[in-house]
Structure 1
Amino acid sequence: MANLNLNQYLREIQSSWQSRSGTEVSELLSFNHPHVMSSKLILEGFEKSVERIVEAPFDEIVVLHLRCLSYINQQKYLEAYTEQSALVQAFTKLFQTQKEDNWALFIMYVISLDLRMFAIKADKELAKKGADKPGQTLEKAAECLMGLFRVCAADNRSSDEDTKRWGMLYLVNQLLKIYFRINKLHLCKALIRAIDASQFKDQFSLSQQVTYRYYVGRKAIFESDFKSAEKYLTYAFERCHKNCRANKRLILIYLIPVKMLLGHLPTPQLLRKYDLLQFSEVVQAVREGNLRRLNNALLQHDAFFIRCGVYLILEKLKVTTYRNLFKKVTLLMKTHQIPIEAYLEALKFMGVEDIDLDETQCIIANLIFENKIKGYISNSHNKLVISKQNAFPSLAAIV
């Protein structure tokens, strides 16, 4: 394939198109296929050869693919993106004319993936040139993919077997990846609603369902819906293929903080297995109710946590750490009426500076409001009066 000449390539792709072999055509339009390594494909005036061998209107797509390949070989990613974008738009028109047929879905998968990858490279090229709007090419790519999505979503008349709606989730996943990258999460809502309303939502390929739930879980984190985030990310982690270790690790980076907020701490074995020891000190600090240790752990690995986008979630663990610290103080006092002063001293011992009795009361009041402590504050006696039964409910039972 790497030594394929132009005529061989054109006859092969025309034959595959005529026989309606979506997988074969998709391979011959993919930039992950060996044919892109051939130096014999880009000849001067190749357009005439394409028109002679490949039938219309598919010939336009082949011409655009070869132009794109030419720019990729020159590492001109902006121009390559322009050609690939034109290719996707030409395919969208052609795809729409194929009534009650979905054999070309495999072609759609390949060209939409390449479009997103070229958009990323084009944006990097623009950034080097000092572009003032990051992600502008990706944004255009998203608009292009939405055209394909509309064609798939509107195919209601075909049979379940032949409908283009089977391609919806793949496109949604490409769009979710783009929206997360350009930080436009509000655009995800309509896509998620479309998949949730689809009759195929539990029948799409498992790999696509895993990807989808990973992004929906991450979106739930941004909305502070940690229970939903746990559900989606757990699904993604448990069903992600055991050999895809890097992907399982990526899911855990978000699942671990969510689980911790809900009162489930990861085991040291899990952290070691997936090389996530950055979390081990955080886990120990929360378990001990040790605020000083938690602050040090967040500081030590702040670059990693910020890069992964979980730093602010881990900051929320301070509330859980307060709860665990106050539980220890309560157990030591061996009474259900504990002076607020005792909690203040514990906070000072843990390195919390510039804190007074009123602020300590405020922390306790918030814990009571969030049902992390069952009791009330007696202002006249400056004491926390706790329930004699289960004063510190399990965090998993609260949320």
Structure 2
Amino acid sequence: MVLRDPGSTSPLRIWLDSRNTGRPGGTGVATYTTGMRQCFTQMGCDVTYLWDRAPDATAPPPNTPARKVLRFMHALLPFPTRVRRRQRPDTGERCWFVPDLFRLANVHFRIWNRPLRLCGGQPPAIMYSTYPLPFLVDDAINVVTIHDLIPLTHPELTGIDRTFMEKLLRRQVALADVVVTVSETVRQQIVDMFHVPADRIFNLYQPVSITDAERRAMEATPAIAPAGCFLFIGRVEARKNIERLVAAHALSGTARPLVIMGPDGDDQPDFTPRTPRQQIIRIPWCSRESLLRTLRDAHALLFPSLAEGFGLPIIEAMALGVPVLTSRGGATGEIAGDAALLVDPLDTGDITQGIAALDRMTADTAQWQQMVARGHSQAERFSPAAQIERMTPFLAHLSRLSATGR
């Protein structure tokens, strides 16, 4: 099915924000953005990014004092900001951009308590924001993605300003045409907290895939961690339950090292070994190929997070045939289904027992084989094909909204 722009024979035009694309180390939102673009493209849409810089600029301008003054003066203006269009010098591809867009929109919202309005530039049928960003595009259907409400439900676990985020989310939920989220857990939280009508909020989950090219690159990548380790992947911060994980790993008595892979987070949890025998290996964020190689070679993924909106490593591990231990309840329990070993993330003893149980399993045991088989089946629920199936009625709904002017 190829959807068309209203009143046109051209494919449905969609802009995605570029805020999380190309960031060093990558983020879960960046993976989400890339996956959604691929799905929209496969569905026949004309998809491009809305950038915060001109196509001949490799990065946003430095955030100098002079730049901050200019940004503040621009943000004071009460009328819409024009979107510019230019062709990329290398490919000739058209590029839509607003210089300094994301910082400018943030300052504008803090001043006016409303999103920055963007106009001109031949607006698309749909502006699909992959994150709650404080701007809206005039004459387009504006979709905002809310991945989680952690700054509101667990403010002690994040460095994000709760007051600002709640104000931003309330305004975006009220003004956006459609709200999208990535799990039923978060969808229900949004409904309960913001009283969003059912026909304005959609749970699309998230496409998760490991391509053939990635698998080939993974095979050719040197190992950076010992095979058979226990592995944690994610930001190293209190929200990820690092200290209980390290304590449980020590108490389990396993001889397998615990590899903690990911960038530093908002705080600094203590991941030093709890016993002389315990081995902790800390690996900063690495290339995608190295991450996948380490995950594939791991004995199991340990992911007893305290709060998530989705839990991307869970499905990536299952897709690679790696058993998973994760938190019972919430989004992690929803995403893992019956394919993971679920534990109480607040109970170090329960996490310990889970690690010990996984430690005793081997590839020839029935329980191991069952976990791997169920994991593969669960991962298929989030494949690009399954995602496109979920997105087809959603995109048809957006097309109808666009055709009727909402």
Say yes or no: TM over 0.5: no
More strand by share: 2
| TMscore range, shorter length | under 0.3
Q: Which protein, 1 or 2, shows the higher relative CO under an 8 Å CA cutoff with sep ≥ 6? A: 2
When normalised by structure 2's length, the TM-score is 0.26
TM-score in terms of structure 1 length: 0.26
Query: Which has the greater radius of gyration?
Result: 1
